[in-house]
Structure 1
Amino acid sequence: MGHEIAGTVVEAASTDYANLVGTAVVVNPLETCGACRACRTGFPQRCDEGRLIGVHRHGGFAEFVAARASNVLPVPVGVPQTLSSLVEPLAHAFHDVRIASSDGLPEELLIIGAGSIGIFALLAAQAAGVSDLTVIEPDPGRQALAASLGAVAVGTSQELEGRQFDVVMEGVGLEVTRSVAVDRARRGGTVVLVGLAQPLSELGFMGAVVREIVLRGAFAYTPSDFDDARAYLADRGLPPQIIIDTASLESGPEVFARLGAGPQVSLKTVLVPSNAA
Structure 2
Amino acid sequence: MGAKMLAEAMGMKALLYANWERLELAEVPEPQPKTGEVLIRVGHVGICGSELECVVQRHPRRKPPLIMGHEFAGTVVALGEGVANLSVGQKVAVNPFVVCHTCRWCRLGKSNICERRQLMSMHRPGAFAEFVAVPAENCHPLPDHADTRLGAMVEPVANAVHAVRLTGQVLPKRVVVFGAGPIGLVCAQVAKAMGAGFVVVVEIAPERLAVARQFADAVINPAETDFLTEVQALTDGEGFDLALDAVGRSQTRRMAVDAVHPTGVAVWVGLHDDETSLSGMGIVYGEKRVQGSYAYTDDDFAMALQLVVGGRVEVASWVQEFPLDEGVEVFWQLARGEARHIVKALLRP
Q: Which has the higher strand share?
A: 2
Provide the residue aligned with 2:24 in structure 1. none
Residue 57 of structure 2 aligns with which residue?
Answer: none
Partner SS for 1:45:
helix
2:320–2:345 Cα contact (<8 Å) kept: yes
Q: 1:62 to 1:226 in 2, by over 3 A?
A: same
Partner SS for 2:134:
coil
Within the alignment, does 1:184 sit opposite 2:184 as a pair?
no
CA deviations on 1:36-60 (whole Å, 9 max, x unpaired) are 2322232211212122112333211
TM-score normalised by L of structure 2? 0.72
Structure 2 gaps, min length 5: 1-67, 232-238
Alignment of 1:72-221 (within 5 A): 72-99=139-166, 101-102=167-168, 104-149=170-215, 151-157=216-222, 158-162=225-229, 163=231, 164-221=239-296
**Residue from 279, 300, 309 that aligns with 1:234:** 309
Compared with structure 1, are the counterparts of its residues 45 and 238 closer, same or farther at alpha carbon in structure 2 (3 Å cutoff)? closer
26-35 vs 78-87, which moves further = 78-87
**Structure 2 vs 1, CA of residues 90 and 240 (structure 1 numbering), >3 Å: closer, same or farther?**
closer
Cα distance in 1 for partners of 2:275, 2:146 equals: 38
Look up the SS of the partner of 2:256 in the other structure. helix
| Paired AA for residue 224 in structure 1 | D
| Post-superposition CA distance 1:145-165 (Å, at most 9, x none) | 21222x222022344323221
- Unpaired runs of 5+ residues, structure 1, are none
Which string of whole-angstrom CA distances, capped at 9 and with x for unpartnered residues, describes residues 145-193 of structure 1? 21222x2220223443232211111000111111211221222211100
Q: Per the alignment, in what secondary structure is the counterpart of residue 145 of structure 2?
A: coil
| Structure 2 residue 81 is matched with structure 1 residue 5 | no
Q: Are the equivalent residues in 1 in contact too, given 2:100–2:106 (CA < 8 A)?
A: yes
Q: Partners in 1 of 2:124 and 2:266 — Cα distance?
A: 31
- What's the offset of the Cα at 1:32? 0.8
Segment drifting more, 107-116 vs 205-214: 205-214
Q: Distance in 1 between matches of 2:292 and 2:117?
A: 16
Higher alpha-carbon deviation: 75-84 or 116-125:
75-84
CA pair 62-206 structure 1, distance change in 2 beyond 3 A = farther
CA contact (8 A) 1:6 1:27 kept: yes
The residue identity in structure 2 corresponding to 1:272 is: R
- Are positions 1:250 and 2:316 aligned together? no
Deviation at 1:63, TM superposition (A): 2.0
Displacement after TM superposition at 1:125 (Å) = 0.8
Counterpart-to-counterpart distance in 2, 1:127 and 1:246: 26
Q: Find the structure with the greater CA-based Rg.
A: 2
Q: Matched residue of 2:131: which SS?
A: coil
Q: Which one-letter code corresponds to 2:158 in the other structure?
A: A
Which is richer in helix? 1
Distance 1:38 1:161 in 2: 38
Tell me the distance in 1 between the aligned counterparts of 2:338 and 2:254: 22
After superposition, the Cα gap between the structure-2 partners of 1:55 and 1:246, relative to the gap in structure 1 and judged at 3 Å, is same
Task: Tell me which amino acid in the other structure corresponds to 1:62.
Answer: A
Give the whole-Å Cα distance in 2 for the aligned partners of 1:187 and 1:34. 38
> Could you say if the C-alpha distance between residues 76 and 126 of structure 1 is closer, same or farther in structure 2, counting changes exceeding 3 Å?
farther
SS in 1 for 2:157: helix
The code of the aligned residue for 1:154 comes to: V
Aligned residues: 271
Structure 1 stretch displaced more, 228-237 or 25-34:
228-237
| Range that drifts further, 108-117 or 203-212 | 203-212
Do the aligned partners of 1:76 and 1:231 also contact (CA within 8 Å) in 2?
no
1:20 partner SS: coil
Please tell me whether the aligned partners of residues 69 and 127 of structure 2 are also in contact (alpha carbons under 8 angstroms): yes
Instruction: Confirm or deny: 8 A CA contact 1:76 1:84 kept in the other structure.
Output: no
TM-score in terms of structure 1 length: 0.89
The C-alpha deviation readout for 1:73-126, integer Å capped at 9, x for no partner, is: 112441111221101111111111111x32631010110101101100111111
- Measure the CA separation in 2 of the matches of 1:147 and 1:263: 20
Cα offset for 1:266? 3.8
Is 2:102 the counterpart of 1:64?
no
CA RMSD, 1 decimal: 2.1
Q: Kindly indicate whether residue 340 of structure 2 is the aligned counterpart of residue 270 of structure 1.
A: no
Question: Which contiguous aligned blocks of 4+ residues in structure 1 show a shift greater than 6 angstroms?
Answer: none
Cα separation, 2, equivalents of 1:56 and 1:159 = 43
Q: State the identity %.
A: 37
